[in-house]
Amino acid sequence: MRFATFCLSVIILAFAGCKPKQEMASSVEDRIWGESGGQVIKLFTLTNKNGMTIRVTNYGGTLTYISVPDREGTFENVVLGFDSLQQYMGNHPNFGTIVGRYANRIGGAKFVLDDTTYGLFANDGVNTLHGGLKGFQKNVFNIDTAYSAADSSVVTFSYTSADLEEGYPGELTMQVTYILTGDNEIKILYAAETDKPTVVNLTNHSYFNLTACKESVLNHELTLYADSITPTDSTLIPTGVLTAVAGTPFDFNTPHKIGERIEQVPGGYDINYKLRKQGNELVLAAEVYDPASGRVMQTYTTEPGIQFYTGNFLNGTLIGYKGISYTIHYGLCLETQHFPDSPNKPQFPSVVLRPGERYRHLTVYRFSVRQ
C-alpha cells in the first residue's frame, strides 16, 4: 500500500497517550451532504470526550465547523463557513479548504523545473493563486477511512491530481488526515507522492474567529514566533529577500492586538513569515487569544513558513452559519506552508517532489481557554 508508512504514523499519533477503552467518548458520524458530478459528498462530524466537535467534508477536504468552549464553558463555532454544500460549491474565499497543488502564489503563472517551463492558469492577475482555476478546492476527494479509537476521532481523504492538471507536471496522489484528539487538538497530516518531478505545497485555508463571529478579529491578540517575513511586490509575489520584523507593524514576537497597527499595513495583513526552526521538527508557530471569550488557539507546524492573512476582502455579500454576514477582518488565517513563489526562488526552501520521495507535513491547531 502506497501510504502504509503514513497511515501507521497516523495510528501512532491517534493512540498516543490513550486511556482504557471504557473511558472513551470520541465518535465519528457521517451523513450524505449531496453530490457533484455523480460523486457522493459526505459531511463527517467528529466529537471528542470533552464535547469539542469539528465537521469535515470530502468536497475539497474542507473543514466546515469547529465548536469549542469559552471560559464559561459555552460551546460555539470559531471558524468561518457555510450551512450548505451548495454555498461551498459557489464562489467563496476558500473557507476551510485543502489548497493545492500549490498553496499561495506563483509569479507569472509559470515556473521552470529541470529545464522545462510549465505554464499555469493565471487566476490572480498575471499570477497563479492557490493552484489555479479550480485547484484541489473544488474537487471531490476519496474517503479512505473514518473511525474513532482511543480518545481520538480520525477521517482520511485522498485525491489524485492528473499529470498536467492546472499545468503541473506529474500524477500526484495526495492524502490528508484530520484527527480530533482528547486534548482539543485538530491534527492535520498531509502526504503526497508523484510519478514525475513536480512542485507541491499544501495547506488548510480556514478563517478563524474566536469570538464565534460576534465581532471582528481586530481585538484578537496574536503572537507569531518569527523574526522575518518575505516582503512582496505590488502583486504580492515575494521579492526573494528576507526582512526583519523588529520595529515594524509585522512584529508579533510579543502579543499585539491585530487591529493595533493594521492601518499601517496597506490593505491589511497578507504576508508569509519565516518561522524560527530548522528541519522538520514540530514547533509552536503562533498563538491567538480572544480576551472577550478567553479562547486560545495555538498553531504548531513542521513547515518553514506561515501566511498571516486578515480576510482583507471579505464583505457583506457572504452569508455564513446562522445567517451571519461576513465583513472585512471577520476572520484570520494562519496558513502553514512553504514560501510563496518558491518554484521561482531557488534561495527559498525547496518545494520540488520527485518520484520515490514522499511529501509529508503536520499542522496542529490546539484550543484552550484562559481564565
| d(C-alpha 249, C-alpha 265), whole Å | 7
Q: pLDDT tens-digit profile of 262-292?
A: 999 998 999 999 999 888 999 999 999 999 9
The reported pLDDT for the residue numbered 317 is: 56
CA 34 to chain centre: 24
What pLDDT was estimated at residue 314? 63
- For residue 363, the model assigns a pLDDT of 98
354 backbone φψ class: left, alpha, beta (φ>0; ψ -120 to 50): beta
What's the domain range around 286? Answer: 4-369
The predicted structure's pLDDT at residue 4: 45
The confidence score (pLDDT) of residue 328 equals 82
- Residue 115, sorted as left (phi over 0), alpha (psi -120 to 50) or beta, turns out to be left
Q: Helix and strand tally (H, E) in the chain?
A: 2, 29
CATH of the domain at 165: 2.70.98.10
Q: What pLDDT score was predicted for residue 19?
A: 43
**Ranges in the chain, pLDDT < 70:** 1-24, 313-319
Q: Which residues are catalytic?
A: 205, 335
- Write the pLDDT tens digit of every residue in 61-83: 999 999 999 999 999 999 999 99
pTM for the whole thing?
A: 0.92
User: Which residue in this structure is represented by grid cell 527559498?
Assistant: 348
> Is the Cα torsion angle 350, 352, 355, 359 positive or negative in sign?
positive
Q: What domain count does the chain have? A: 1
- Looking at residue 279, its pLDDT comes to 87
User: What is residue 315's predicted lDDT score, i.e. its pLDDT?
Assistant: 58
- Provide the 10 A C-beta neighbour count for residue 31: 8
